[in-house]
């Protein structure tokens, strides 16, 4: 019966097996740390400074957000080559909306408090619509995703151009640019609060997960392993917050507007940036996408369809509508990434997001998403984006020439996939 297995003594397990940490996750974190340490040595310790870690985080956000959506696309055996162009169309619409359309046509004054929010909603809607339209062509008309989104790459890149006449649009709204990174951060106190709450919530979920397992009579890992994992997670969250809080605002920036940092004068005022809003957005996206992937029917159907499209169809899953939903989701994420990318620059530029499609696909693939479908994780894609960005900015800091930078990134992409394939062969999986 069902309690047969638990009656037997559990077999001896190694340290890592007891922790039940995914080996692949461990490998990716290891690779990321290796990249960081190597660059830190090459740059005499300039790579792992709070300032550079802060910059790395905000540079990664835009690609990482889109990469989480790309995971679902690739898992269902599709591809989306249009994400960079889609991002450009969305930022073009949002740029025009806040600088021209809303002030001139609707009559809202520049700087009106509603402008950024109307803009953001419009941008997300446009992204969803374009994504859904592409998904409809792929799902209901059977045009390969490669073709639809290759067409989309040309179309949306140039719709953006057409909307703005190729001009740089800006400066963008003061509230809008808060999502860009350094312009909008939580400050030290709030960062600590967010960090502590986040750590507490993660610990709570680990604990309640354990209790659910016990209730159903499933084996659980030993107590010490549970506490080790909890300590690692809480340590990682609080360590990240501490690092960001260690990056203090330069005194000349404070001197410009001391009130902004809670000081009377610039003299002797110390303030930290803390967690950028854009990083919070990425964390929220990561949580939502992970919950979708693991805890909802939608996610289950995405992975089932990727594993065996015929079986999904025969199980009564509407795989066509599923395709529309996935591409609409990617559209929304492109718009969200567009908000962050354009807010970071302070402008919509005509070439915004160029080649992002390749970075996003590379991030997802480095993160262990299999192009054959059915396999992929959200956290993997985000770590993949981090690795790509670290390589790129690390090499720039070391002073590697531009052509070599791309050669290295390209080689790393291929190497990462090769390692992943070897790893899976060892496991004996067929994928």
Partner 1 sequence: MSTPLVEMKNVSISFGGVRAVDDVSIDLHAGEVVGLLGHNGAGKSTLIKMLSGAYKMDSGEIWIEGNKATINSPRDSRDYNIETIYQTLALADNLDAASNLFLGRELTTPFGFVDDSRMESETRKIMARLNPNFKKLKEPVSALSGGQRQSVAIARAVYFNAKILIMDEPTAALGVHETAMVAELIGELKKQGLGIFLISHDTREMMELCDRVAVMKNGQLIGSERVEDVTEDDILSMIILGKNPKAAA
> Is residue 402 a contact residue for partner 1 (CB under 8 A)?
no
> Is residue 257 a contact residue for partner 1 (CB under 8 A)?
no
> Is residue 303 a contact residue for partner 1 (CB under 8 A)?
yes
Q: Is the dihedral of CA 229, 235, 238, 240 positive or negative?
A: negative
Distances (CA, A) of 253 to 55, 260, 261, 305, 389: 17, 10, 10, 52, 27
DSSP code, position 105: I
Span interacting with partner 1, options 45-53, 79-87, 211-219, 410-418, rule CB under 8 A: 211-219
* Residue 80, Cβ density class (10 Å: 0-12 exposed, 13-18 middle, ≥19 buried): buried
- Whole-number minimum distance, CB 12 to partner 1, in Å? 18
Candidate residues 295, 351, 404, 411; the one interacting with partner 1 per rule CB under 8 A: 295
> Is residue 94 a contact residue for partner 1 (CB under 8 A)?
no
Span interacting with partner 1, options 64-72, 113-121, 215-223, 387-395, rule CB under 8 A: 215-223
Helices within 76-144 (DSSP H only): 83-96, 115-141
Rg (CA), the chain: 23
Q: Which is nearer to partner 1, 255 or 427 (CB)?
A: 427
What tokens were used for 127? 């992204």
Q: Which is nearer to partner 1, 189 or 212 (CB)?
A: 212
> Is residue 6 a contact residue for partner 1 (CB under 8 A)?
no
> Is residue 300 a contact residue for partner 1 (CB under 8 A)?
yes
Rounded to an integer, what distance in angstroms lies between the CA atom of residue 408 and that of residue 374? 28
Q: Which is nearer to partner 1, 75 or 388 (CB)?
A: 75
- Contact characters 409-428, partner 1, x per CB under 8 A: -------------------x
Q: Which is nearer to partner 1, 279 or 312 (CB)?
A: 312
Return the residue matching tokens 């067409």: 151
> Is residue 9 a contact residue for partner 1 (CB under 8 A)?
no
Which residues in 70-89 contact partner 1 (CB under 8 A)?
A: none
> Is residue 208 a contact residue for partner 1 (CB under 8 A)?
no
How many residues sit close enough to partner 1 to count as binding (CB under 8 A)? 36
Rounded to an integer, what distance in angstroms lies between the CA atom of residue 73 and that of residue 257? 45
- Whole-number minimum distance, CB 28 to partner 1, in Å? 19
> Is residue 11 a contact residue for partner 1 (CB under 8 A)?
no
What tokens were used for 45? 């310790």
Q: Which is nearer to partner 1, 141 or 430 (CB)?
A: 430
What lies within 8 Å, CB to CB, of 264 at 6+ separation is 258
Which residues in 308-347 contact partner 1 (CB under 8 A)?
A: 308, 310-317
Candidate residues 13, 256, 297, 425; the one interacting with partner 1 per rule CB under 8 A: 297
Helix (H, G, I), strand (E, B) or coil at 169: strand
Which residues in 365-384 contact partner 1 (CB under 8 A)?
A: 374-375
Rounded to an integer, what distance in angstroms lies between the CA atom of residue 286 and that of residue 289? 5
What tokens were used for 361? 């696909």
DSSP code, position 170: -
Rounded to an integer, what distance in angstroms lies between the CA atom of residue 46 and that of residue 392? 15
**Closest CA relative to residue 342, chosen from 202, 169, 184, 212:** 169
Candidate residues 215, 259, 268, 399; the one interacting with partner 1 per rule CB under 8 A: 215
| Structural contact between residues 366 and 414, judged by C-beta atoms closer than 8 angstroms | no
Residue ranges in contact with partner 1 by CB under 8 A = 1-2, 5, 212-213, 215-218, 291, 295-297, 299-301, 303-308, 310-317, 374-375, 428-431
């Amino acid at each position: 019966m069902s309690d047969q297995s638990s009656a037997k003594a559990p077999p001896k397990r190694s340290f890592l097996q007891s922790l039940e940490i995914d080996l692949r996750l461990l490998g990716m974190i290891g690779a990321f740390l290796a990249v960081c340490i190597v660059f830190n040595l090459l740059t005499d310790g300039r790579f792992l400074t709070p300032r550079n870690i802060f910059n790395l985080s905000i540079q990664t956000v835009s690609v990482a957000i889109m990469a989480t959506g790309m995971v679902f696309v690739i898992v269902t055996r599709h591809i989306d080559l249009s994400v960079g162009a889609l991002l450009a169309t969305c930022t073009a619409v949002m740029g025009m909306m806040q600088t021209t359309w809303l002030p001139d046509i609707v009559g809202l004054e520049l700087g009106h408090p509603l402008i950024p929010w109307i803009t953001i909603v419009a941008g997300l809607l446009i992204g969803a619509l374009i994504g859904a339209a592409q998904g409809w062509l792929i799902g209901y008309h059977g045009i390969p995703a490669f073709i639809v989104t290759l067409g989309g790459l040309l179309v949306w890149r140039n719709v953006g151009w057409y909307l703005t006449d190729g001009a740089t649009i800006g400066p963008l709204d003061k509230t809008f640019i808060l999502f860009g990174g350094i312009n909008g951060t939580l400050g030290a106190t709030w960062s600590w609060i967010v960090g502590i709450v986040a750590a507490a919530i993660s610990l709570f979920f680990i604990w309640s997960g354990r209790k659910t397992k016990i209730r159903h009579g499933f084996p659980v890992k030993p107590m010490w392993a549970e506490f080790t994992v909890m300590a690692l997670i809480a340590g990682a969250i609080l360590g990240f917050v501490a690092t960001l809080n260690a990056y203090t605002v330069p005194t000349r920036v404070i001197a410009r507007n001391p009130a902004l940092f809670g000081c009377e004068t610039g003299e002797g005022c110390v303030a930290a940036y803390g967690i950028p809003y854009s990083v919070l957005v990425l964390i929220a996206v990561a949580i939502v996408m992970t919950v979708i992937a693991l805890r909802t029917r939608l996610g289950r159907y995405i992975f089932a369809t990727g594993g065996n499209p015929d079986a999904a169809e025969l199980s009564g899953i509407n795989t066509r509508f599923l395709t529309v939903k996935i591409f609409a989701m990617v559209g929304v994420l492109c718009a969200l990434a567009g908000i962050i990318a354009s807010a970071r620059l302070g402008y919509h530029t005509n070439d915004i997001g160029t080649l992002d499609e390749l970075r996003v696909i590379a991030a997802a693939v480095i993160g262990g998403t299999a192009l054959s479908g059915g396999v992929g994780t959200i956290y993997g894609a985000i770590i993949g984006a981090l690795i790509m960005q670290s390589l790129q900015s690390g090499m720039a800091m070391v002073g590697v020439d531009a052509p070599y930078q791309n050669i290295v990134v390209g080689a790393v992409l291929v190497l990462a996939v090769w390692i992943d394939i070897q790893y899976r062969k060892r496991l004996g999986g067929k994928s």
